[in-house]
A and B are shown apart, each in its own frame.
Chain A
Amino acid sequence: MRTPHRSVLAAVAGVAVVALMAAGCGSSGSGSSSGSSKTLTASAPGITASTITIGSHQPLTGVAAPGYDEIAPAANAYFQYVNAHGGIYGRKIVYKYLNDQYDPTITSTVVHQLVLQDNVYAIFNGLGTPTHLAVVKYLNSSKVPDVFVASGCECWNAPSTYPETFGWQLDYVREGKILGNYIKQHFPGKKVGYFYQDDEFGMDGVKGLDYEIPKSQVVARESYNPTVTNIAPQVTALKAAGAQVVVSFSVPAFTALLRLNSLKLNFNPQLVVSDVGSDPITLAGLLESFAKQGGTTVQGNELTEGIITDGYLPSLGDTSNSWIKLMTMIHSKYLTKYPLDGNVAYGIAVGYTFVQAMLKAGRNPTRQDLIDAINKGMPQGVSVAPYAYSSSNHNGITGAYMAVIKNGALVPTGPVQVTDTSPTGAVTTYTGGQPAAPASGIPSP
């Protein structure tokens, strides 16, 4: 029989293990905010005289990782460029991004680690909607800036409940409205089928589409689960409904699968794809093995030719654009092991936006200074449409241009259009243009 002595010994041993593995103790790094002196002080947690430490959660492995795992290294590459050219008022950006495998439980763990143990100044570009939703309440109650979330959910625009949280990319409802408006105008009376991911990305996109496309035109709505790659039933159903236009809110893998399954079924609708799933380079890479089939000398791009999509960053095919030149330079210097594709462009763009915001926050910023800087509005940068940022609106990019994939690159087919997320807000043309990139590649304060 066990004696109490042994059991207690056992229990204490177990508990001691926990204590032994607790190496660090939390330390606080809050300092006092300083005035406008030239000396750099530790004005906030995560800020020292020489560094700014920010954190993020990213899916670096697992089913959500392909493609998305390029974004954080791309942003980090831009930060390294800035660090090498004077940093932010002389401070270097230290970007610590941790793998959450797209699992909200792990997201919560790593974000707690970043805030409580690594004492980051802010959480930057946290990726994923269900993942980031796991931590948004925590970050806001701990008053940690939560800037430029990498997700198009409307949920980041809630300044009264989540004052620390800001979106960045074009949200999915706006995108749905812009795509829907285009379809309404260019394919009147044609039968439209929806193909969408069964999460908020797909469902918000469908919401936006429904605000624009008349219900009578929609003949099929097929959703897919990203863990089940066999989408033959969905494509068969789309074909059986007679869809002439298929709007797809899908990630690149499933856009490619849609194309492949359509080939198998001899189904040839016009594809209109969300920006998320239409990066021409990624798609071409996924489809290249199949384009060489059949003995004919088929161009690798044949299978992506003619896909209609939208874009809110300049097209990578527009090599004379000053922003594309900047991205190409960053890519060739720091990111050669990745292709220069949409994910890399996204990472550099959002990194640039963060640097803009930090420069606006001041020489010795507190955490609140960063929030205030964005609330005062951000100048248009890498995006083709202006930001919506204000103290009452935490949405980011407000519009995009329609484009078509030709020869493996995005070719714009129309002007930039902006809209809002309401059911009745119109889709209007934006005439403001886009400023050129700064010559140094670094925004001015």
Chain B
Amino acid sequence: MQEFIEFGLGGIGIGMIYAAIALSLVLIWRGTRVLNYSQGGMAMFTTYVAWVVISHTGNYWLGFAAALASGLILGAILERTVVRPTVGKSPLNSVIVTIGLLIFLEGLAGIIYGGQYRSFPAAYSVRGLKIGTFSLGISPSDLFTAAAVLAAALALALVFRYTTVGLRLRATAFNSSVARLLGIRIGRVLTLGWALAGLFGALAGVLVTPSTFLYPNSMDSIFVLGFTAAVIGGLDSPVGAVVGGVLLGVVLSYAGGYLGNDLVLVYGLVVLALVLMIRPSGLFSSAVARRV
């Protein structure tokens, strides 16, 4: 019984990280119809920025803020310089460009900081919480992670629905030509979308790096699972991103725990296959398959 709860709560904990990556992918996809393969690389890089700040000042929250800020800036810069020229061309161009970005960011991190693992602090204690003697399998840090991701997702949803900025973001995603005709500055909207995505990625990075350690490739496998979560939830839906992330995290936790961990990635593939067979555009997409 205890391990059942521990598997479940642990799964939710890591699922929140997948959700954060999925959210940033959804943001960019909705806004710019680009699949950002460098999302993990961006998150890794901003976490290095946080690490530098923390090492120099000793203050975790300063580093946390630095990571989020650099995520905003990095996203905006990358969109303006490297991604903008690919708009309007074949969608695969942006795929290769973002892949190139990923490789570049990992190489750059290796050059500046070297390849060795760095320890990265967690926001709060990592000792497990207990109710009496019953161990829950999560720590205060895990609770903070879940809360932070949920708060960010909620904020995003509110922005999308209730603000002018959100309306512009959605309009541009839906039909950029018409949006431009209506006077929306497409360029600025695209940059904002990428900046927000950078913010989410940075959040995911600082939350997960304590348990992956910081090195140039630290976000690679997290990205793959975050991407899968986004696909499961539906690339157009922020709600889907969160649900997909938690679902994936929990299923993999139980499957890995009870069935053995060698095949955990295969279990992920099975989950993905099952979801996509039932709903080819993800759980929460509202795309109706066009039947002819």
Contact = CB atoms under 8 A, between A and B. Distances in A.
Asked if A and B form a direct contact in the complex, defined as CB atoms under 8 angstroms apart, the reply is yes
A222 B257 CA distance: 9
Interface string B121-152: 11011111010000101110010000000000
A292 B118 CA distance: 15
B59 interface: no
Interface string A233-248: 1101101100000000
Given A69-B116, A223-B262, A260-B211, A233 B256 contact: yes
B264 to A, nearest CB: 6
B215 interface: yes
B164 interface: no
A285 interface: yes
B163 interface: no
Interface string B1-38: 01100110011011000000000000000000000000
Contacts of B135: 265-267
A256 B213 CA distance: 10
Interface stretch (A56-64, A90-98, A270-278, A372-380): A56-64
A62 B218 CA distance: 9
Interface centre among A60, A66, A267, A286 (most CB of B within 10 A): A66
Given A66-B115, A233-B253, A292 B125 contact: no
Contacts of B137: 232, 236, 264-265
A290 to B, nearest CB: 5
B110 interface: yes
A232 B137 CA distance: 9
Contact of B117 (A67, A228, A231): A67
B177 interface: no
A289 B210 contact: yes
A294 B124 CA distance: 8
Nearest to B216: A61
B121 A233 contact: no
Nearest to A300: B119
Contacts of A239: 3, 6
B121 A292 contact: yes
Contacts of B211: 229-230, 257, 260
Given A236-B257, A256-B213, A260-B211, A225 B262 contact: yes
Contacts of A231: 261
Contacts of B11: 232
Interface centre among A252, A257, A260, A293 (most CB of B within 10 A): A293
B217 interface: yes
B90 interface: no
B221 A293 contact: no
Contacts of B212: 229
Contacts of B213: 66, 253, 256, 286
Interface centre among B121, B137, B210, B264 (most CB of A within 10 A): B137
B120 interface: yes
20 contacts: A69-B116, A223-B260, A223-B261, A225-B261, A230-B252, A230-B253, A232-B10, A232-B253, A233-B256, A233-B261, A233-B264, A234-B257, A240-B2, A264-B128, A286-B117, A288-B119, A289-B120, A289-B121, A292-B121, A293-B121
Query: Which 9 pairs between the two chains have the least Cβ-Cβ distance?
Result: A233-B257, A289-B121, A233-B256, A240-B3, A232-B10, A289-B119, A266-B135, A264-B128, A66-B117
